[in-house]
């Protein structure tokens, strides 16, 4: 498969039109329209499988708009069968802070935007409390771009399939700080299998990704269930603010 075909497929812009064998440009005008091109179905067995490494390499070269189109058309894991909308992310594409959550919930799935339900209202309030807004200096995304049915936890294969998108978002956004909201965001960004409590306590040198500091905090949904933990989340926001005003 050529690079062009891989990109088109990754962006969901297939089927690809190809010339019939033996049909030259000279003969095209003489043929009835349906004979000129053939639709290559993605199910055709002679089409080479795209490896995870090829897919990641393609995603790593996408522009913001191509990335959004690719996420919207993604069929890399089973969540594409149950989603209403994929939820790429929202906000400032050159942010100072990038907030990473877990996965879209019911409202996000309906609207195609992250953190629009109750947890989102709390996240917005937390951001406002430190002088930030989701559209201004902040980009918000999730580890997983499609809603897991019934809001179950994301599964390892889903995280693996979606991580190239998150990596590309971070590379394009070049934030000064990553705020990891909850276990799945922190584990994915830090590549660790620890609890939120343990990851919050990591020394600065171990809490970064390619030189970008990562502040781990509790997920807003957890804070709604455990409001006493809000004081710790406030500490995390203060820490983030001290790192990047």
DSSP-derived secondary structure letter, 179: E
Interface segment toward ligand URA; rule CB under 6 A; list 1-9, 20-28, 100-108, 127-135: 100-108
Which listed residue (92, 108, 109, 124) binds ligand URA by CB under 6 A? 108
With contact defined as beta carbons under 8 Å apart, do 143 and 154 qualify? yes
Interface segment toward ligand URA; rule CB under 6 A; list 97-105, 130-138, 158-166, 234-242: 97-105
Q: Cα–Cα distance between 173 and 168 in angstroms, integer? A: 8
Q: Cα–Cα distance between 215 and 241 in angstroms, integer? A: 10
Between 38 and 85, name the residue whose CB sits nearer to ligand URA.
Answer: 85
Between 62 and 116, name the residue whose CB sits nearer to ligand URA.
Answer: 116
Which listed residue (58, 68, 74, 115) binds ligand URA by CB under 6 A? 115
* Residue nearest to ligand URA as judged by C-beta position: 101
Examine residue 79 and tell whether it contacts ligand URA (CB under 6 A): no
How is 43-86 classified by DSSP, letter by letter?
T-TTSPPPPHHHHHHHHTT--HHHHHHHHHT--SSGGGGT-SS-
With contact defined as beta carbons under 8 Å apart, do 58 and 6 qualify? yes
DSSP 3-state assignment of 211?
coil
Q: Cα–Cα distance between 107 and 110 in angstroms, integer? A: 5
For 32, list phi and psi in degrees, rounded to 5: -65, 145
Interface segment toward ligand URA; rule CB under 6 A; list 2-10, 96-104, 223-231, 233-241: 96-104
Which residues, 176 to 215, sit near ligand URA by CB under 6 A? none
Q: Cα–Cα distance between 221 and 169 in angstroms, integer? A: 23
Examine residue 148 and tell whether it contacts ligand URA (CB under 6 A): no
Between 105 and 213, name the residue whose CB sits nearer to ligand URA.
Answer: 105
Q: Cα–Cα distance between 211 and 206 in angstroms, integer? A: 10
Between 95 and 120, name the residue whose CB sits nearer to ligand URA.
Answer: 120
Examine residue 169 and tell whether it contacts ligand URA (CB under 6 A): no
Examine residue 124 and tell whether it contacts ligand URA (CB under 6 A): no
- Where does this chain bind ligand URA (CB under 6 A)? 101-105, 108, 114-115, 119-120, 142, 221
């Amino acid at each position: 498969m050529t690079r062009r075909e891989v990109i088109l497929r990754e962006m969901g812009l297939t089927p690809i039109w190809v010339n019939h064998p033996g049909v030259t440009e000279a003969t095209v005008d003489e043929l009835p329209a349906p004979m000129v091109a053939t639709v290559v179905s993605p199910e055709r067995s002679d089409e080479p499988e795209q490896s995870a490494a090829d897919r990641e390499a393609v995603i790593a070269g996408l522009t913001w708009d191509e990335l959004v189109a690719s996420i919207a058309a993604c069929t890399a894991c089973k969540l594409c069968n149950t989603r209403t909308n994929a939820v790429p992310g929202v906000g400032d594409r050159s942010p100072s802070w990038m907030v990473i959550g877990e996965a879209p919930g019911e409202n996000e799935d309906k609207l195609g935007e992250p953190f629009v339900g109750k947890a989102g209202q709390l996240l917005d309030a937390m951001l406002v409390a430190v002088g930030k807004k989701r559209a201004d200096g902040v980009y918000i995304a999730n580890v997983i771009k499609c809603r897991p049915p019934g809001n179950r936890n994301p599964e390892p294969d889903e995280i693996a399939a979606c991580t190239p998108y998150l990596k590309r978002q971070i590379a394009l956004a070049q934030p000064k700080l990553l705020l990891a909201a909850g276990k799945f965001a922190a584990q994915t960004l830090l590549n660790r299998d620890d609890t939120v409590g343990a990851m919050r306590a990591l020394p600065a040198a171990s809490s970064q990704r390619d030189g970008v500091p990562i502040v781990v905090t509790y997920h807003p949904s957890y804070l709604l269930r455990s409001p006493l933990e809000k004081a710790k989340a406030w500490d995390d926001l203060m820490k983030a603010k001290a790192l990047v005003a």
